[in-house]
């Protein structure tokens, strides 16, 4: 299954500046593994030592966070779009810098 993987600006240096690349696979894990084999530096950015996605990395299948689907085992279909985004979040706390 061919899918488009959208790459955030912060990681484009690892993929020759491309905004999106094509990868293959039947699940999110397949897609990211194949992408990681071609772009090992990108793989290092996304995965922890145990092989899990880093907690600050969000992966979306089309518009859905895969953590709310079946995680890395989520199945993909031909033409799906996988988006990788570092988390955007924050907020007030009592202690300030």
Partner 1 sequence: MKLTIPKNIYEQMIDHCRAGLPNEACGFLAGRAGAVERFIPLENAAASPVYYRPDDKQMIAAMREIDDGDLELSAIFHSHVASAPRPSVTDIREAHYPDSVYLIVSLVDLSNPEARGWLIQKEDWRDESGQVEEVELVLS
Which of 2, 13, 19, 22 binds partner 1 (CB under 8 A)? It is 19
Select from 5-13, 28-36, 70-78 the region that touches partner 1 (CB under 8 A).
5-13
Given a contact cutoff of 8 angstroms between Cβ atoms, the answer to whether 87 and 56 are in contact is yes
CB atoms within 10 A of CB 87: 10
**Considering the rule CB under 8 A, would residue 50 count as an interface residue with partner 1?**
no
Residues 48, 25: Cα–Cα separation, whole Å: 21
96 sits near partner 1 (criterion: CB under 8 A) = yes
Confirm or reject binding of residue 93 to partner 1 (CB under 8 A): yes
Going residue by residue from 22 to 41, which x/- string records binding to partner 1, judged by CB under 8 A? --------------------
Give strand pairing partners of 4. Answer: 22, 81
User: Positive or negative CA dihedral for 47, 48, 49, 51?
Assistant: negative
> Collapsing DSSP states into helix, strand and coil, what is residue 2?
strand
Residues that bind partner 1 (CB under 8 A): 6, 8-10, 19, 45, 54, 56, 58, 60, 63-65, 83, 85-93, 95-97
């Amino acid at each position: 299954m061919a899918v488009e993987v959208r790459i955030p600006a912060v990681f484009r240096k690892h993929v020759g500046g491309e905004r999106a690349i094509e990868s293959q696979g039947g699940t999110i894990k397949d897609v990211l593994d194949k992408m990681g084999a071609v772009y090992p530096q990108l793989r290092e950015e996304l995965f922890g030592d145990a092989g899990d996605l880093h907690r600050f990395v969000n992966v979306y299948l089309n518009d859905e966070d895969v953590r709310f689907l079946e995680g890395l085992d989520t199945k993909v279909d031909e033409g799906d779009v996988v988006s990788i985004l570092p988390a955007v979040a924050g907020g007030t706390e009592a202690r300030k810098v």
